[in-house]
Amino acid sequence: AKEIKVSPSLLAADFADLRGEMDKINSSEADWLHLDIMDGVFVPNISFGFPVLKYVAELCKKPLDVHLMIVQPEKFIREVRALNAMMMNVHYEACPHLHRVVQQIKEAGMKAGVTLNPSTPVSLLEDIIEDVDMVLLMSVNPGFGGQKFIPHTLQKVRSLRELIARKNAHALIEVDGGVNNNTAPELIEAGVDVLVAGSAVFKAPDMKEAIHQLKIIKGK
Ligand code: DX5
Ligand code: ZN
């Protein structure tokens, strides 16, 4: 079986102890660290911004997987690059000129990810899939951690797997929202490559063990 990547979401971390949280992440089996940036416009919440993430980026030894839930994300390519981010994910719904934004992210030296809200169909990626490094499927409506997984996501993972195979594209499939030991097996079976997990990791009694458990889950 292929190796599943785990990208813990900082949104559920103890912000009063970011150094302690990053020490644990650094010594865990986490593959990446997922950073959720919100603007109170694209989503009905505000999380953290670049002044905070500058310190997170200094403390974290894992590649950064940045998820921008903001309007006009192309305005912040330079700031995301300055964090030394590995991946920049922008929302399909926030980018009328998605092709240009994807090229700009890649020109800045990062991998480019496109994110779909739960109600946005996978078929809309037909003409961009070959250009992207990852598709992030939201399995909750973005804006908050700790929400319930939307089961229809499994069908979207399967359609996306088909689209990627048909186009001979290389994009990874990441899923974000309500991912835990109960929802992960079916996602893996459906063809996910990367699991984002916030509460399931940071609110667990033993974070490193919670990450380990997600790493060893097999498809159902
Ligand atoms: C939601 C964020 C997620 C969130 C997931 O808007 O994009 O990354 O942190 O949190 P859990 O895993 O608790 O659903
Ligand atoms: Zn996210």
Q: Which atom of ligand 1 is nearest to the CA of 38?
A: 6
Annotated binding-site residue? 9: yes
How much is the pLDDT for 190?
98
Comparing C-alpha atoms, which of 101, 115, 102, 91 is closest to residue 42?
Answer: 91
The domain over range 5-216 is classified in CATH as 3.40.50.300: no
Chain segment 165-190, per-residue pLDDT in tens = 999 999 999 999 999 999 999 999 99
Say what the pLDDT of residue 64 is: 99
Residue 219 is predicted with a pLDDT of: 82
Q: Is 67 annotated as a binding residue?
A: yes
Distance 133 CA to ligand 2 centre (A): 16
pLDDT at 78: 98
**Residue 33 pairs with which residues in a beta bridge?**
64
Rounded CA-CA distance 166/174 in Å is: 19
pLDDT at 1: 76
pLDDT at 218: 87
Which residues, in sequence order, are bridge partners of residue 34? 9, 65
Tell me the CA distances in angstroms from 111 to 89, 142, 181, one per residue in order: 9, 21, 28
With a Cβ cut-off of 6 Å, ligand 1 is lined by 9, 11-12, 34, 36, 67, 140, 142-147, 176-179, 196-200
Domain boundaries defined on the chain: 5-216
Substitution candidate for ligand 1 out of 10, 36, 48, 117 with most atoms within 8 A of CB: 36
- The pair of structure tokens assigned to 198 is 């916030």
pTM over 0.80, yes/no = yes
CB 28 within 8 Å of CB 208 = yes
Catalytic residue annotation: 36, 176
The ligand 1 atom nearest the CA atom of 67: 7
191 is in an annotated binding site: no
Residues of the chain predicted below pLDDT 50: none
CA angle 68, 70, 127 (to 5 degrees): 70
